[in-house]
Structure 1
Amino acid sequence: MKKVHVKKGTVLQRKGDLSSKVYLVESGLLRSYTIDGKGKEHIYMFGPENWIVADNCQLNEPCQLFIDAIENSIINITTKEELLKSSPDLKALAKRLRVMQNRIIMLMSSNAKERYEHFITTYPNVTQRVPLKMIASYLGITPEALSRVRHQLSQKNG
């Protein structure tokens, strides 16, 4: 790990970057966030002392999050690849965290239609196996709202 002093306002990572670093906060405060298509900022998490802040994107996949310092900070930086080499068991955890990150960002910044379309893409075989009430719960909407979304999509695709 490389120890670095960063000033408040320093952007450590931009959405779309292809290489994701892992930041261990020794002192100070980081945040990770995304900006949706309408320009609205959605904070994913804060990283105070002894927290790890990282985007869980895969190698050579665009990152989804901005990461910046909101206080003067001392951080230790490594790459995700180095971290995974040190513990192969972390690969399964990293995959799980990536799925959770995608879900949280989607819930914060997508409308019901976009969430449902993402659900269908992520779980193509689950739609027929669970009640619509469960899908609505997963999407954070009412069953009635899900019915409206499904109707809109059927009109568009039909």
Structure 2
Amino acid sequence: MKDLLIEGINKWVDLTPEEERIILEQVVFETYPTKQVLVKPGEDSHWTYFVLKGILRSYTVDENGAEHVLNFATPGWWIADMYSYLSEKPSIMYIDVIDDAEVYLLSRKKVEELYLKVPKLERFFRILTQNSLVSNQQRIIDKMSLTAEERYDKFQKQFKDVKNCLPQKHIASYIGVTPEFFSKMKSRLLKQK
């Protein structure tokens, strides 16, 4: 069975067995328990995380202590504080573990080295970045133009495999509502069925 990372890359570029070996030699395998904080604001974040198992999330905390979930990463997904990772400036967000995780870590330095050893990866990461930009733009538009119910429906379709594993307060934050509103909205939706 192929490695999940290699399968994901091969969806966009065709790697040779030698290129696959080179990539797998450069990643660092780690396991993290639930609630482990991987990135904090003010720290340098030189890593991008590829999830093999479990769930990670990225979020910010406002001056009132409210969390604002930016993204979830499930198996096969990448997550990073791209601001810190690309600019080499201190992080502006948190990344933590929601469900015990197995991940590959890849540092910016190793990515640059891999671009020279496996040039196809530049194309792969360009495609990944473009897809991320499109997704983030759509999410901003959705937040401005869709109702909370419509945003929740999109969330359920996007995260159908893990939606029941996520705390309700994180889902509420992701779709941009308070936990109290989310609870009432879910009750109302259940009554409509």
| TM-score of Structure 1 vs Structure 2, range by shorter chain | 0.5 to 0.7
Moved more, 39-48 or 88-97: 88-97
Is contact 2:45-2:81 (8 Å) kept? Answer: no
SS in 2 for 1:68: strand
Residue in structure 2 matched with residue 60 of structure 1 by the alignment: 88
Shift of 1:27: 0.5
Shift of 1:18: 1.5
Is contact 1:28-1:73 (8 Å) kept? Answer: yes
Is contact 1:14-1:67 (8 Å) kept? Answer: yes
SS in 2 for 1:72: strand
Q: Percent identity?
A: 25
Structure 1 residue 30 corresponds to structure 2 residue 56: yes
SS in 2 for 1:71: strand
Residue in structure 2 matched with residue 5 of structure 1 by the alignment: 31
Residue in structure 2 matched with residue 71 of structure 1 by the alignment: 99
Which amino acid counterpart does residue 32 of structure 1 have in structure 2?
Answer: S
C-alpha separation between the residues in 2 aligned to 1:33 and 1:54?
11
Please list, as runs of the form range in 1=range in 2, the aligned pairs for 1:75-90 lying within 5 A after superposition: 75-84=103-112, 85-86=114-115, 87-88=121-122, 90=125
Shift of 1:39: 1.7
Q: Deviations over 1:126-150 (max 9, x none)?
A: xxxxxxxxxxxxxxxxxxxxxxxxx
Q: Deviations over 1:47-75 (max 9, x none)?
A: 11111011112343111221111111111
TM-score scaled by length of structure 1: 0.55
Shift of 1:9: 0.6
Could you tell me which runs of 5 or more consecutive residues in structure 1 were left unpaired when the two chains were aligned: 109-158
Structure 1 residue 20 corresponds to structure 2 residue 40: no
Is contact 1:19-1:59 (8 Å) kept? Answer: no
C-alpha separation between the residues in 2 aligned to 1:26 and 1:93?
17
C-alpha separation between the residues in 2 aligned to 1:40 and 1:28?
24
Residue in structure 2 matched with residue 51 of structure 1 by the alignment: 77
Shift of 1:80: 2.6
Aligned residues: 107
Please list, as runs of the form range in 1=range in 2, the aligned pairs for 1:69-148 lying within 5 A after superposition: 69-84=97-112, 85-86=114-115, 87-88=121-122, 90=125
Residue in structure 1 matched with residue 15 of structure 2 by the alignment: none
The two structures, once aligned, show a CA RMSD in angstroms of: 3.2
Could you tell me which runs of 5 or more consecutive residues in structure 2 were left unpaired when the two chains were aligned: 1-26, 116-120, 144-193
